[in-house]
Structure 1
């Protein structure tokens, strides 16, 4: 059920219970709004997205998964961040042991006031939403569903790592084992807990004892062509003020068409355990295709077509610059 619009029953249950410094921008857009922070490079983010896909599908327990995870950790280190690789073995819905690594990269580790940015980096083992049933057991490349969120975070880390003027601390968390949820072709029962396994583990075992953050932003499928990002329902339930903060930032910098002020679905995703277990108000930036017949997450979701050919650098740019605006406005 991951990233499906949550069933009414579940919704009701949840509701009840380089060395040079980067020059910052300071261009006034009107009497009240100011654009702040470094310029987000869409080209860099696109390259980071492609680099992950060059390893192949990053499915659990695969060589591509392990090599890509090391590459991600090394990139964060290259940008000057402190990296923790949180390794554990998780259990898939079918009992499969999953060798999992949550990758945590921290900037300005001495700061007690922190912001959490997160995304998942594993990819779906089965293209179970593909129009052709012959593809249902083929792995998904995950250019959008996996690589795009990490790519945006890597570019953010590159920019932030060059700038020692940012007083607040930033933690980037790349969750593993997000996409091993019950496939649509399986007869196994799906209560939603087979998804977001890495996030569940981290929320119960954070990399720092007593870890706290002012708020969190989850980036999921943030590079797709034609994407728009509506208010996600569980984000509004747990962190309405953060939703408003992020969407306001997008509007200030000219991305109101990509961040419309309307409601999307209610999503089971990595932000749920972060909100419920760590009590960090965390929102999900995730696309909403209201009229797409294949899926409300867009035509490539959990299909063999989730490839670089369907990644749009302008989408990566809009999301990345919005997050920059939020961070540098704090």
Structure 2
């Protein structure tokens, strides 16, 4: 994904925002509140199994860098598909070729798991599972592949644990999990999502809103409200942030704007909003200056950056939303 910053405030306001942002952040590992398994509306949500989500990340990494066109892509896709088939009502696998440069195509594998497929009211949950071919931001070797523990595996890991919970106890409405491929191929972004948005797994597919998880497992993470998400899906995004704060995760989910201005990130939600016309917001960790995390697109994006407490804050908030009042916003 890529990002830009839109500076919307003067220096005085930026100082105030910086103070508010820093007050909302810890310098060490953040701790969840004891009430984090209770949904905002007072309904009991299942407890998010952090160990399970962490194991999902480990398993994805075990296949090697999940670069389109490699054996690791096929092996990981087979494991993801088999896991979801054990839990979901219906699993769809989209296979396509996507163009990454003039004259070059790579295979793309999108995996969609549907819960309560006959329900009219639906929520879309999505994350990408591929990794970038090379660590172009690395300080030492920009040609190496990377594990993508946070950038890719963390979102997919949380969604797999969510699928396991949905299998055990299903809400009455419909939920669809979309694991997208080819999100991060050199200078071409979100190719799998663009393909799905133009070729949905169900003709005419619609959901009331979507939630994208990307880079949701890193240490010292803070989640600001991203600009495109504000533009297309502010109401459900605000609801998600409210649930997070009411669940005791205010140190992770900040209402403040980064001092540098609102970041606009080209991520999978961009094309779900613009092509599929489903209001979708991005849950993605940023630094207080609005840039992405230091391990982004480096070989440091490995298991050492994953913090179980961050996984729990995001995963429990997601369950609290899904098992609370997800359409009340």
- TM-score of the pair, normalised by structure 2: 0.85
1:195 equivalenced with 2:176 (yes/no)? no
State how 1:2-17 maps to structure 2 within 5 Å: 2-5=1-4
Higher relative contact order (CA 8 A, sep 6+): 2
Q: Note closer, same or farther for the CA distance 1:35–1:257 as it changes in structure 2 (3 Å cut).
A: farther
Supply the distance in 1 between the matched residues of 2:183 and 2:68 (Cα, whole angstroms): 10
* Partner in structure 2 of residue 286 of structure 1: 284
- Give, in angstroms, the shift of residue 76 of structure 1: 0.5
* Partner in structure 2 of residue 170 of structure 1: 175
- Give, in angstroms, the shift of residue 172 of structure 1: 0.2
1:52 equivalenced with 2:57 (yes/no)? no
Q: How many residues align?
A: 294
State how 1:91-240 maps to structure 2 within 5 Å: 91-93=99-101, 95-132=103-140, 135-164=141-170, 166-182=171-187, 194-240=188-234
The DSSP-based 3-state class of the residue aligned with 1:265 is: strand
Q: Note closer, same or farther for the CA distance 1:218–1:249 as it changes in structure 2 (3 Å cut).
A: same
- Give, in angstroms, the shift of residue 39 of structure 1: 0.7
1:262 equivalenced with 2:267 (yes/no)? no
Q: Note closer, same or farther for the CA distance 1:235–1:62 as it changes in structure 2 (3 Å cut).
A: same
Higher strand residue share: 2
Write the deviation string for residues 232-254 of structure 1: whole angstroms up to 9, x where unpaired: 11100111101111100101110
Report if the CA contact (8 A) 1:4-1:268 is conserved: yes
Runs of 4+ in 1 over 3 A off after TM superposition: 25-29
Supply the distance in 1 between the matched residues of 2:297 and 2:48 (Cα, whole angstroms): 28
- Give, in angstroms, the shift of residue 317 of structure 1: 0.7
1:314 equivalenced with 2:305 (yes/no)? no
* Partner in structure 1 of residue 273 of structure 2: 275
**Aligned-CA RMSD value:** 1.9
Task: Give the counterpart of 1:304 among 299, 302, 308.
Answer: 299
Supply the distance in 1 between the matched residues of 2:272 and 2:106 (Cα, whole angstroms): 21
Report if the CA contact (8 A) 1:35-1:253 is conserved: no
- Give, in angstroms, the shift of residue 120 of structure 1: 0.4
Supply the distance in 1 between the matched residues of 2:130 and 2:84 (Cα, whole angstroms): 17
Supply the distance in 1 between the matched residues of 2:278 and 2:224 (Cα, whole angstroms): 21
Which shifted more, 258-267 or 59-68? 258-267
- TM-score of the pair, normalised by structure 1: 0.85
Report if the CA contact (8 A) 1:26-1:36 is conserved: no
The DSSP-based 3-state class of the residue aligned with 2:225 is: coil
- Give, in angstroms, the shift of residue 80 of structure 1: 3.5
Supply the distance in 2 between the matched residues of 1:123 and 1:28 (Cα, whole angstroms): 34
